[in-house]
Structure 1
Amino acid sequence: MYIPKYFEEANIEVLHELVRTHPLATLVTMSSHGLNANHIPMYLVQETSEYGILRGHVARANPVWRDLVSEVEALVIFQGADTYISPSWYQTKQERGEVVPTWDYVTVHAYGPLRVVDDVVWLRELLKNLTTQHEAPLAEPWSIADAPREYIDKMMTAIIGIEIVIRKIHGKWKVSQNQPAQNQESIVVGLQEQNTGATVAMAQLVEQAGKK
């Protein structure tokens, strides 16, 4: 991933927060037929690893866990807020007109070897952690214990665990840091006026970047 210095985010806590809040990852692996991409919710644990450990599961029918080029690291991509930035929002447009559109976004790329985990105890713990994390905001959270044990056991036979110990991790926060302060301010206003989930989230990121 190309990361100009002013778009680089190296704070591991910031990177981990994006992973937790946007857990649906694009898992890119190398198979015998070439590159393979799968979309999998991942669960981040820190434990003793410097950059953290990613855990998830795939269908046993999915060839991703059988067809791996073992010496090649897997790439896991987490995508945060993103939105189009109109040049009409730039204050400098009125001065020189030398402006063009762009796209602002935040993303995390994590790399590490993929390990297959065929262990029912490990897998049940992962499922418990995943559901606890994502059910937490709900008024009546669901848990694995709400379903019959026999049913869960049967469903678990159709999936298999995967784990990636992160060896390197990069963050790119392209949130208009390369624009002068007056443009950053007017971008925030323009995004807020659009009033969508994506534009409001990006407005907050642009505003935060402008305060650093």
Structure 2
Amino acid sequence: MFIPKIYKSDDQELMKKIISENAFALLISDKEKLSATHSMFLSNDNGKDFFLETHISKANFQARTLKDGDEVLCDFLGAHSYISSSWYEKTNVSTWNYEAVQIRGKVKVMTDEELYRHLEKLTFKYEKIQRCPMFVENMGDEFVKKEMKGTFGINIYPTEIFIANKLSQNRNDGDFENIILNLGQSDSANDKKIAELMGENRGLI
């Protein structure tokens, strides 16, 4: 992913936030043929190594072809909004503001024990906010292990990380404030989120 220097970030906490809030992302590989699967990701930082976790169905083509050491690309798209050139003081082109993370990395196939722990963590993340949460430990080992037979889990160890944080950093104060004003008047949650992020980024909030 090409990112102009002005929009490129090295902020690891921002990266983890984008991944956590936009965890249903694309797992892309070109083993035998170009393939992409939307799957649920977790980021894992054990204090020594940062890596991603995900799982897909064993019936998936990627599950049948990916092996230890194969390269994949993980694509996370955060908040994003169209920015109209009509909001600028002078004639210019329209554009798109967005947050995104792409991670290129090497695959390590999970053991059954690692897959079980992965499913525990993933389920806990989304069930803990439910009125009557259904955690893995509530399902019974026999049921979970039966379901695991159809599941392919992988860890992905990054070789390259790209963090894009495009929030109109190149615009003067007048244009910047007008963009925020127009986005804030939109009914779109994405537009409002980008307006909020722009304000935080320039210290207006």
TM-score by length of 2: 0.91
State the distance in 2 between where 1:137 and 1:196 align. 24
State the distance in 1 between where 2:140 and 2:66 align. 35
Are 1:115 and 2:114 an aligned pair?
no
- 40 and 120 in structure 1: CA distance in 2 versus 1, 3 angstrom threshold: same
Contact persistence 2:67–2:107 (CA under 8 A): no
Contact persistence 2:76–2:102 (CA under 8 A): yes
Are 1:171 and 2:163 an aligned pair?
yes
Are 1:150 and 2:142 an aligned pair?
yes
Partner residue in 1 for 2:15: 15
The residue identity in structure 2 corresponding to 1:16 is: K
The residue identity in structure 2 corresponding to 1:144 is: V
State the distance in 2 between where 1:137 and 1:181 align. 40
The residue identity in structure 2 corresponding to 1:75 is: L
Runs of 4+ with >3 A deviation: 68-72
Which secondary structure state, in structure 2, belongs to the residue aligned with residue 66 of structure 1? helix
Partner residue in 1 for 2:179: 187
Which moved further from structure 2: 139-148 or 179-188?
Answer: 139-148
State the distance in 1 between where 2:106 and 2:155 align. 8
Counterparts of 1:1-212 in structure 2, within 5 Å, are: 1-33=1-33, 35-50=34-49, 52-68=50-66, 73-90=71-88, 92=89, 96=90, 98-117=91-110, 119-211=111-203
TM-score by length of 1: 0.88
Q: CA deviation at 1:149?
A: 3.3
Name the % identity: 27
Which secondary structure state, in structure 2, belongs to the residue aligned with residue 113 of structure 1? strand
State the distance in 2 between where 1:190 and 1:146 align. 48
Which secondary structure state, in structure 1, belongs to the residue aligned with residue 46 of structure 2? coil
State the distance in 2 between where 1:64 and 1:106 align. 27
The CA RMSD measured in Å over matched residues stands at: 1.9
The residue identity in structure 2 corresponding to 1:6 is: I
Contact persistence 1:32–1:68 (CA under 8 A): no
State the distance in 2 between where 1:134 and 1:102 align. 34
The residue identity in structure 1 corresponding to 2:104 is: Y
Q: CA deviation at 1:171?
A: 0.3
- 174 and 103 in structure 1: CA distance in 2 versus 1, 3 angstrom threshold: same
State the distance in 2 between where 1:197 and 1:74 align. 31
State the distance in 1 between where 2:130 and 2:178 align. 36
Contact persistence 2:57–2:63 (CA under 8 A): no
Q: How many residues align?
A: 204
Ranges in structure 2 where 5+ consecutive residues have no aligned partner: none
Contact persistence 1:31–1:68 (CA under 8 A): yes
